[in-house]
Structure 1
Amino acid sequence: MEQLLNADYSGAIGTSGLVSMVVSLLCVVLSWWALQNLKLDLVIRYPKSPQGRLLHLLLAIVLGHFVAGFLLDYLGWSGMMRNLFY
């Protein structure tokens, strides 16, 4: 019985990790796409240089991380709502 319970927890943790990774990567890609419209040449001298592209990538990662965190928190909170009516 205890092995079955541990297997269920392991499967749930693995699924949660996989969902978190996929959502995070999708949010970074979405942020990268959205930042393509940003005029970095107003802030950076050479936006096409390796440093400019690295800054663009880092901005996409940071923005994607915050968006993914919000979405995953919201998903967790909505999952807790079913406990409200027990």
Structure 2
Amino acid sequence: MEELFGQQAIMHIMIQLVFLFVTWWALQIVKLDFFVKNINSPQAKVLQILLTIAIGSTAANFFLSYYQWATRLQYLF
């Protein structure tokens, strides 16, 4: 049973990291010039990192919840 928890923890960490990477990659084409005065400032980079974390973790949590719901469907029948 503990081995299962360890495997799930590794899967959750890997999925979170993959979604963070994909979100960072996708946000590279967004022009933040409309929202930020100085795009090269450290504050702009921190904003981009925080946006990546917010969007990436939300998408990863949705995916993980969907996966858990799908695996629990076997108990319906």
Tell me the TM-score normalised to structure 2 length: 0.95
Q: What secondary structure, in the 3-state scheme, does the structure 2 residue paired with 1:60 have?
A: helix
Aligned to 2:55: 63
Q: Could you list the per-position Cα deviations for residues 14-73 of structure 1 after superposition, in whole angstroms to 9, with x for gaps in the alignment?
A: 011110000001111111111111110111011121110111011001100100000000
Aligned to 2:35: 43
2:16 matches 1:12: no
AA partner of residue 52 (structure 1): A
Q: What secondary structure, in the 3-state scheme, does the structure 2 residue paired with 1:66 have?
A: helix
Q: What secondary structure, in the 3-state scheme, does the structure 2 residue paired with 1:38 have?
A: coil
Q: Percent identity among equivalent residues? A: 32
Unpaired segments of 5 or more residues in structure 1?
1-8
AA partner of residue 55 (structure 1): L
Distance 1:23 1:46 in 2: 33
- Equivalenced residue count is 77
AA partner of residue 41 (structure 2): S
Distance 1:77 1:16 in 2: 14
Deviation at 1:84, TM superposition (A): 1.7
AA partner of residue 51 (structure 2): L
2:59 matches 1:28: no
Unpaired segments of 5 or more residues in structure 2?
none
